[in-house]
Every structure is written in C-alpha cells, then in structure tokens.
Structure 1
Amino acid sequence: MMIESNYEEYESEENINAVIVKIQDEKYLIEVEKVKEIYVPGENIVPVPLSEKSIVGVINIRGVIYSIISLRHNIYAESIDYGLNEYSRILLLEWGNLNVAILVDLVIGVREFPLSIFKHQGTIVKTNIEFKFIKLTGVFQEDPLILLDLDAIIQPYIKSFEKIGGKKGEVTTPSVLEKPKVLPKKPKKQAKPKKSIKPRKSDEESTVIIPQSPKISSKLPKASANLKVTLSDDHKDILKEMGNIGTGNAVTALSRLIKKKIDVTLTDVGIISFDQLAGQFGGPKEKVCGIFCHINKPSQSTILNIFEMRPLMHLIATLAGTDSKIEPNKVKTKSDLDEFAISTITEMGNIMAGHYASALADLLETKIMIDIPEFTMSTAGELGDFLTQELKSIAELVIIIKTSIKISDLKLKGMFFLIPDLTTLKLFFKKLGIENTLVI
C-alpha cells in the first residue's frame, strides 16, 4: 500500500522524539511522550481466554496488570504468531486510566527527528499497515518514516480492556513482599519519614527506561557553586537503601545477561572532597573502564559503573562471541576495540543504568529519563582526575552513593556510583516524605 504524507499537527514544534520499533521488515515511530517504559516480557505474559486474537494477554509488572496488544497482528491480521523471542519488547504506555502495552518485534532505539521531514506534501511511503493507523509519514536520510497513531490503534480495544481489567489504580499484590528496609535509626524531628521504602523483588523481570535522543555529553551534572551539604544519619540511611535497591535491580539484570552469580557489598554514602575522589576507584595506576549514564529528568544526576579493565574485556569477548575479534589481554585503550565490543559495552551499560533508574523511578513514583551510555578506558587515577576537573568548577564537594560488586568466576570487581546533584537530593527526600531535608 502506498501512503501519502498528510501533515496537520505540530506546527509550533521543531523536533519530535520517537522510539523506533520494528515489526518484521518495517520500521515505525512511536512518540516518546506516550511511552512510560520499555520492558522485556520474557515468559511472563499470561494469555486471556476468549479475547481477541490481537490481544496477546496480560502481564504483572511490579504488581500492576497491563493488557498487551500485538502490533504485528494489527499490521498482518492473518498472522497468528506473535513473534515472541529474546528480542521482543513491550512498550508500557501513558494512556488515560488504562494500563496498556504494545508488543513489538524489536526496539531499535530512540531518536529526535526534525518535524520538517513530515511537512512535505506528496511524500509517498510503501507500507503494509492500514492508513487509519498512520499519523504522519516522511523521509529522513532516504529512509521512509511512519509515525503511528496510537489513538487509532488502542481505541477499538478499550471495551475489551475494561472487561479484562488493567485500569490504573488496580494493583495486585505480588506473591512475595519484603519488609521495608529503610527505617531511621533514631526518630528525629528534622528527618521523619512519612512512608517506608519497599524494595523491588530480586527475581523481578527486567525493565529498561527509555533513553532520550542520543546526544552524548561528557559533562557531569551541574550544581550550584560553593555548596556545603550536611547529611543526617537518617538521610544517609535513606540514600544507602536507595543505592541497595538500585544496584540490586541492576545486578539482577547483569547476572541474567552474563549467567553468573554476582556478590554485592553494602552500599556506602559519603560527602567527599575532590582530592579523595581518585581513591574511590582503586590504585591510581589500575586500568579501569568507566561507563557513564546521565539522568536528565526529573533532574541532573549520573550513574557510573567502574570495572577492572582486563576481566571486563574477557567478559565482553564472551558476550560478543564470534562477532568480535578483540584479544582481551591486548586491549589497552578504546581504539583497540571493534564495533561489536563497543556495542556490547554500551548495551551492558544501558541495561545496568536502565534497571538502576527503573528501581529508583518505582521507589519515587516518578518518571526518570536517561541518556545513551558512554564509556572511557583509562587508569583509575586519570578517571578520578577527569571527574575532579568536571565537577570542581561547580561544587566544592561531591556526594556519592557507592556499592561494590564481585563476579568470582571472572575475577571481576566493579563499583556502582550514583552521583546526584542537590536538586535531585531534595527531590528524593521530598518524594519519600522527609522533612527539613538538608543542611546547606
């Protein structure tokens, strides 16, 4: 079917941020603002008896039931195969009072597109999808683009979903609940929690927060200059538990990826001066790989993973398989890596940061957006010096939430850091009901 562009909306906007998904051989765009989360379904989808064929089933995600629509079945109505495999993803949507998800064959990534590419009348795109499901069409760098109309796709299912359930607010109790781990040691007037923290279950299926458009920045989060912050014991307890929850979620995802047991130490929280920063990463001459992922919404923070270089390269070579030709013992700099190894490190960083951020988002009941990860390979001393230079011009001290991990089978040690700015800290404590949060 040939579709002609019909641009009618977004006249005042310059760009559109979209998730790029794939169904069989065709690519489609879904607006990021409509998507809450991208989730790996695994084998957790439960079929619904007597439902329409294009309704895959339901899934319980952190106690919330989502009804899942097959985008493949909407495009290829004759197909009874949902195409579920290791690459399948479900997109959890922001959709009124309904908990709705869409199953796609593959999520390629997230990208910002200029709206001008949709404005040219007469753009013709060949596609298998029905015209009623198309919002806009265009061409970008010779590739045809189809922006999906989610209203048209979801509207026919609303009555079915109401029968199935899955309205917002309808939350089922998970089969296993852990007691909240965060409780203040001593009740204090200036830091009295209004609600406790419920950690995510360690065996929960993985989620990935959608990265924003891939604009890579080497800058760390900015904060107000010349700030001195004092954390009470209760504040530190809260931050430690947040670090435990975030790292626990990220480590679970990493363990599934590499199929190895990972040991985790208790999280430590500290306010350190910049001359102490390099010492956080081991000896100054130790070769390490630092994977950065910046959180841009709701504020500015950085998730940083540090790994010993040589054991990590052995892990990357194993994960990349025959696609990568790197020799782990000979890798000294980033230039020694091929594109498959680079892609594997980036994807590993994306999975860990996404799961870490997802756990924090659940805890704080907010949406968190992260950038595409980037990484550097250097000595621990050089990495510490780099961070010092990046942060020293904007603050006198840095707050770090640090958790160490160890993979015995690979002789690999690593550290997770969450480096929040002051605005993020205030948001954390406000969301958790902590009064009189910080002494500045």
Structure 2
Amino acid sequence: MSSATNYRPSSSTMEQDARRIHDDRPVSPGSIAIGVIIGRMSEFFDFFVFGIASVIVFPQLFFPFAPDRLTATLYSFSIFALAFIARPVGSIVFMTIDRLYGRGTKLTIALFLLGGSTASISFLPGYESIGYWSIALLALFRLGQGFALGGAWDGLASLLALNAPKNHRGWYAMIPQLGAPIGFALASTLFGYFVANLSSADFLSWGWRYPFFVAFAINVVALFARLRLVMTKEFGTLLEQHELQAAPISEVLRFHGRDILIGAFVPLASFAMFHLVTIFPLGWVSLFGNMPTGEFLFIQVLGAAVGVAGIITSGLLADRIGRRSQLAVCAVIIAVFSFAAPMLLSSGTRGQEAFVIIGFGVLGLSFGQAAGSVSSRFSLRYRYTGAALTSDLSWLIGAGFAPLVALSLSTNFGLAFVGYYLLSGAICTLLAIYFSRTLEAGGPEQTLR
C-alpha cells in the first residue's frame, strides 16, 4: 500500500480558495444534514419519475406495438434497469474526474447530466412519431441518468457520519436515507395530480412531461446545496486527512475487493424490497387491480410517510442494539413479510393498500441503515471510493432488475414467487452479515457495528 503522503489531494485550486474564504464559518451538523437530504432527494426524485412513468406512460407511448399491456410494461422495466448497469461505469469515470479536477467539478458535471438526461426525456416523441428511434433515445437518456448518478456520490453522508457523536452513529447514518421516501412522495404527488385531473389523452400527450421538467430545477437547487458544503473548511480538512478522498479503483479492488463483495450483499434485502414496494406494486395494480392509478399513487405517498417514520426509528434502534443487529433483525422481518406479501397483493384493494403501508414501514426500518452498512468495513483512505463501488454493486444486484423480475415471476408462476424472490434477498443479507462477522480483520472502522 502506498503511503498517504504520496496521495494527491482531490481538490482544485478554486475549491481550496473557496474554503479559505469560509474558514470563519463553521458548518453545523444540522446544515450538513439538510444538504445531504436535499442531495439524496433530488437523485431519488429523478429515478422515481422515470420509474413511475415506466408503468403509466412508457408502455403506451413507446411500446404500442407490444401484443399486450403486460409485455409493454416488461419492455419498459427492461429500460428502467439500464441505469443500474451504467451507474458503476459512471462511478469509475467520475472518480477520475474527482482526483484530477476536484469534487466540485465532478458534482457539477454529474448533476447537470442527471437533470439534463431526465429533462430531455420530457421532449421525446413517441413510437408513433419516430418509431424505434424513440426507444433508442429513451434508453440513451436512461443510461445517462445512471452514468450521472455514479458521479453524484459526494461523500457528504460520510462527512455527516464522521461528525456524529460515537453513541449516535445510527441516528446520523439514517439521515441521508430520508431523501428516498421524500423524493418518491414528491414524484408520486406530481404524477397523481396530473393523472387525477387530466383526461387520459391529455396526460399521455403532455401531462406526464411536467414531472420531468421539474427534475432539472430540483437538481440545480441540490447542486448549490451540496457545493456549499463541499466548499467548507470541514470538508477540506477531511479531504486532506484522506477520509473523503477518491482512490484509484484498481488499488481499492486490490485491498478491499472482498469487502466490496460482502458489503454489496449486506443491504440486499433492503434494496430488493426498495422497488418491490414502490414500482412493482404500481405496475401490478395498473395491470390487474381495480384501484384507479391516481388513487393508488396517493396511497403510496401515505406509504412514503410511513417509510420516513421507519427510517427515523431505524436510527434509534441502531444506536440501541447496534447496526449489525439492526440489519439482521430487519432481514428477518423482511423474510416474514415475504410470506405475507403475496396474500396481501391478491386480497383486493384493501390488501394492496396494506401491502404498501406495511411494506414501506418495513422498508424504512431496513433502508435506514443501508448506507452505513456499505462503508463500515473500509479503512479511511479507501472508504469514499469503496463505499461508492459497494453501493453501485448492491443497487445493481438488489434493485435494478427487481421490477422486471418480480412482474415476470408473478405473471408466469404466481404472486408467491415474488415472496420467494424477496426471501432470497433476506437470506443473502443474513449470510453476508455472518461472513462479515467471521472475516472481519479487526479495526473499529472496518466492522459492521
């Protein structure tokens, strides 16, 4: 391992000057928390806008040639998965930009690309106008979203955790996760409003495009919120100490390849459940349920509120029983829920509502500590890059194909197989926690405490 003294600071001259200007303005943990939540909310909003449209817009607009609505939705979910394939590639490219030009430059490029890709989708004509080119462009912009999200990893969650008191690390670890249900609720509210107040023809013609327009504005706000924190003295100090540095990918894989692999499976149950209570049930109800789409979207907004409560509760529990125990207990709860999920989804409107509300509560409890789990095994120098790669791999394995797989399994073999799919994620999480315990090499910074 090369020495830290040979490690090049990931900060441009402009960023260093900005930090000197702000030397007399210390940033509070509360300000960091707000910046982190805004940043995560913008990312999840972009992804959920696409995810919701994958169910209620894209099958009709881009795949009208499909033999039925189910097949069109499966095609749409295939495009949805592309972003999770592109995300690790984006991380690798943007880590290089980070090392050469600084974190601020990387974030600016990534967030403009993320917002630009999302907003560009709103201008796309449908298949009836330009044929297969519309699908190719949709796939291109979806790849752009995933590639950009790989570059949006900013280290602010780590900055928040490193500023956390020792006995409140679980509480601080859950704060970035609040951005997910907030982003989902905002996307669902926008779509729900237009679905409920426009005719089907008007919605498919122009109404669906507005949430994609909003995405660019939200990303600009998020960019300024995050740059403000990146330019602080605290962030610069941690860069100089190499706690938030971008390390060469090959070096990280050489020293922490095993940790990346194990870490990717630790939050797998949570990440598998992530799209099984957001995108998949919307698709199932739209195809086979009796509830109007707009009404179900607002039920999901209520579910997102329950998810927020679950995430907050996860922070309290993790500080009391430890993060490892919290993740293991939640994996067991998800395993239990996997047996109830098929029965709820097949029990009509009330059962589907219960699936959403209960599912979001369980998701919140598990997802609240998922971010902390991916970075806890890395030494300081490799934590930033290692956590990014681990997160990318975990999202790819656990969440990227979940809507496609779940819908395929449920329609071909029955809803019980959705439960089996979720159960497999819970088993993987429990096994990863076990191997993490057996293989950990000591050092308080390298354990899933």
TM-score interval for Structure 1 and Structure 2 normalised by the shorter chain:
under 0.3
Q: Using structure 1 for the length normalisation, give the TM-score.
A: 0.26
Higher RCO (CA 8 Å, separation ≥ 6 residues): 2
Q: Which has the higher helix share?
A: 2
Q: Using structure 2 for the length normalisation, give the TM-score.
A: 0.26
Return the index of the structure with the highest Cα Rg: 1
